[in-house]
Amino acid sequence: MRLYLKDINELSPWFLGVCLAAIICDKYFKMQIDLLLYLFALVSGSIIFGKESESKTISFLEALPVTKKRIWFSKILNTLSVNLFLVGVLILYFLAKNNGHNYTMFCGKGFLPNVSMLFNITSFSVLSSIIMKKTISAIFGALLGLFLFHSFFGLVFLQAQSVFIFKGKLAVEFISVLYLMSAVLCYYLSFKLYTRRG
Amino acid sequence: MRENAIITKDLKKAYGKQDAVNGLNLSVPKGSVYGFLGKNGAGKTTTIKMLLGLLSAKSGDIDVLGFNPKNEKEAVEIRKRTGYVSENQKMYDNMKIKEIISFTKSFYKTWDDKAAAELLKRFNLDEKKKLSELSRGMYAQVALLLALAFKPELLVLDEPTGSLDAIVRRDFLESVVGMIQEEGRTVFFSSHQINEVERVADWVGIIDRGKLLISAPIDDLKTKTKRIRAVYKDNAPDVSFDGMLCKKTEGRELLAIAGDFNDTVLSGIKKGKPENVEVYDMNLEEIFVAYAGGKI
């Protein structure tokens, strides 16, 4: 519990900052809020292990009488709750703007792909923060990973469309499921990598 | 009742092809202050991390307070009973002292608030100060406070004074020694600052290239290890005896260090009929150099 609260405490200024930026961007620059939420998901996932490794406080944490599994679970619980919070913000935003809002992000329209993409981005950045061990490297690592993943997936998707397998709404749902599956895979890999003892 | 707080048998650990610990056999008696000496890169920190279950061993057996740190659950049991202060330990600098105390406290059922308050007073620390505002000495004292306030059975200090200046180092060690004498705990203390080990420890172990060269009570080690200087009429003969750590001959003079000095060694030297034989006591630093460096 203390681990969870400590990390939430660290993430909350970021979250407030992003919320503020979202409001300002939406009001004055007509920028899409979902873009900012993705950005926060990326940063929050990168901070969760990256910042501790960077400042070497992770050694202090791991020397406490707690297993690495518990540290991992508490941190992942953190990213998941942050994601759920972001989903809440998305819902509120969509409800407030229920007037034909256009989603700019990859994979078209709808709530489901946006939510699944949030989880997808965070899981990528969590994995990246465990491998890179530095926040800024983790952000760039996750961006690169996401770029490669989406490029590959885009190609597969286009190929599938060209042979008329996927059409319309079904395609969006298929994409969402794949996003979530890749998120689960990233979390699993991050667990394996973090909990192994050198 | 267990006699040893720590036992390792043929403990090995490698980083890639590089052996960090290579067949370490260590026994740390309960209630002792054990100085674990070694050059930089000798394998001290790796050994300590394996003892606490923070690193996995390649092979060998480890027993710390009756638990095996290879098993993750047992490693947690060890850490529940062991206070650990590492070199340049980094904690959460954005926290105040009282916050880091409260955070650490939540992990230990045996945490003693009274002991923590006493330590704060003893170290003259202001609990409202942030860790980032503390000097290195105070920072190390906070780390020591966190390691002691839950009344550990074993205290493991890995180069705890490495980054401190001489005065702060002395204060820090005096605090440690004071508390040890009060409580009678086992302390496992790694350092390459030999004089501080000599002042604090009652047992000493010397590690080099991952192997334990000697482990003995510090007084025994000083009694047994002697420097011998013999001057011969002609050129000094090539002498060898059991337990010889190193030797040097220069013309008529022979200098040798005996790791187990006794009458047999002396009579062996005297066989060459030297004109003069002198036997000198050695301090811990000289003993360490003889064992780890093979130099007189």
pLDDT, tens digit, 9 for 90 and up, residues B31-42: 888 999 988 888
Q: How many CB pairs lie under 8 A apart between chains A and B?
A: 49
- Check CB contact under 8 Å for B93 and A55: yes
pLDDT at res. B80:
93
- Check CB contact under 8 Å for A65 and B79: yes
Q: Residue B219: phi, psi to the nearest 5?
A: -70, -40
Per-residue pLDDT of B250-259, as tens digits, reads 888 888 888 8
pLDDT confidence of A106, banded at 50, 70, 90?
Answer: very low
Sign of the alpha-carbon torsion through A80, A81, A82, A88:
positive
Residue with tokens 């606490």: B52
pLDDT at res. A102:
46
- Check CB contact under 8 Å for B54 and A6: no
Between these two residues, B219 and A21, which has the higher pLDDT value? Answer: B219
What is the rounded CA–CA span in Å between residue A196 and residue B277? Answer: 58
Tell me which residues of chain B have a pLDDT lower than 70: 1-2, 163, 180-182, 294-296
Range in A75-89, A167-181, B4-18, B101-115 with the lowest mean pLDDT: A167-181
Which positions in chain B have a beta carbon within 8 angstroms of at least one beta carbon in chain A? 52-56, 72-73, 75-77, 79-80, 84, 86, 89-93, 103-104, 106-108
DSSP three-state, residue B230: strand
DSSP three-state, residue A91: helix
What is the rounded CA–CA span in Å between residue B261 and residue B99? Answer: 55
Range in A26-35, A148-157, B199-208 with the lowest mean pLDDT: A26-35
Residues forming a β-bridge with B206: B37, B214
Is B52 within 8 Å of B218 (Cβ atoms)? Answer: no
What is the rounded CA–CA span in Å between residue B79 and residue B97? Answer: 21
What is the rounded CA–CA span in Å between residue B228 and residue B60? Answer: 38
pLDDT at res. A113:
75
Contacts of A149 (CB under 8 A, 6+ apart): A120, A124, A182
A12 touches chain B (CB under 8 A): no
The percentage of chain A sitting over the pLDDT mark of 90, rounded to a whole number, equals: 12
Rounded to whole angstroms, what are the CA distances from B94 to A9, A104, B108, B226, B251?
Answer: 11, 38, 22, 52, 64
By C-alpha distance, the chain B residue nearest A6 is B103
pLDDT confidence of A16, banded at 50, 70, 90?
Answer: confident
Is A3 within 8 Å of A75 (Cβ atoms)? Answer: yes
The tokens describing A135, both together, are: 């926040």
A64 touches chain B (CB under 8 A): yes
The interface predicted TM-score (ipTM) is 0.83
pLDDT of A15 higher than 90 = no
Q: Residue B217 is inside which H or E element, if any?
A: strand B211-217
What is the rounded CA–CA span in Å between residue B87 and residue B136? Answer: 11
Sign of the alpha-carbon torsion through A104, A107, A112, A118:
negative
The domains found in chain B, sorted by start residue, are 4-220 (3.40.50.300), 225-293 (3.30.70)
Q: Name the burial class of residue A96, with classes exposed (0-12), middle (13-18) and buried (19+) by CB atoms within 10 angstroms of its CB.
A: exposed
Give the residue extent of every domain in chain A: 2-195
Q: Dihedral, CA atoms, B215, B190, B33, B21, nearest 10 degrees?
A: -40
pLDDT of A103 higher than 60 = no
On chain A, the residues whose CB falls within 8 A of the CB of B89 are 59-60
Q: What is the mean pLDDT of residues A108-135?
A: 80
What is the rounded CA–CA span in Å between residue B253 and residue B268? Answer: 16
Question: Looking at the partner chain, which of A1, A56, A62 has a beta carbon nearest the beta carbon of B54?
Answer: A62
On chain A, the residues whose CB falls within 8 A of the CB of B107 are 2, 64-66
- Check CB contact under 8 Å for B90 and A1: no
